[in-house]
């Protein structure tokens, strides 16, 4: 089982940028699809970005596609989420997740991921 730890969350203003990192340990991250989800209080966890194991494909939620970028550095066992032009609607707890089911696929459903980080809070003030 791979262990994931998110970092980089914080309080920013509308229009600012923020970079989140997901650090993996215990297993080589290069064999896992990795995705970022976010969750607002009282709402379901939502897929926002994913990347295949070798980094050849990415998938992003339409509402963030022009603002967010997901990338990975398998040599460092890290996956990042670069967030630009942040809005108050982006406020949520952000989680990274890993799936070994299909390294070339990017599932959009939470149940397909069996490895999760603890989450990091992102708050965007208006």
Rounded mean pLDDT of the chain?
A: 97
Alpha-carbon span 112 to 81, nearest angstrom: 20
Q: How many CA atoms does the CB half-sphere of 62 hold within 13 Å? A: 0
**pLDDT tens digits, residue range 89-113?**
999 999 999 999 999 999 999 999 9
Q: Where are the alpha helices (H) located in 17-106, listed in sequence order?
A: none
Per-residue pLDDT reduced to its tens digit, 71-94:
999 999 999 999 999 999 999 999
């Amino acid at each position: 089982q791979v262990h994931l730890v998110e970092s980089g969350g914080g309080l920013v203003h509308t229009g600012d940028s923020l970079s989140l990192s997901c650090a993996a340990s215990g297993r080589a991250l290069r064999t896992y699809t990795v995705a970022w989800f976010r969750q607002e209080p009282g709402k379901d966890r939502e897929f926002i970005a994913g990347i295949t194991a070798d980094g050849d494909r990415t998938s992003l939620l339409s509402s963030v596609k022009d603002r967010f970028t997901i990338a990975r550095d398998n040599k460092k066992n890290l996956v990042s989420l670069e967030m630009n032009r942040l809005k108050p609607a982006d406020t949520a707890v952000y989680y990274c997740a890993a799936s070994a089911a299909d390294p070339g696929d990017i599932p959009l459903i939470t149940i397909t991921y069996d490895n999760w980080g603890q989450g990091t809070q992102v708050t965007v003030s208006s």
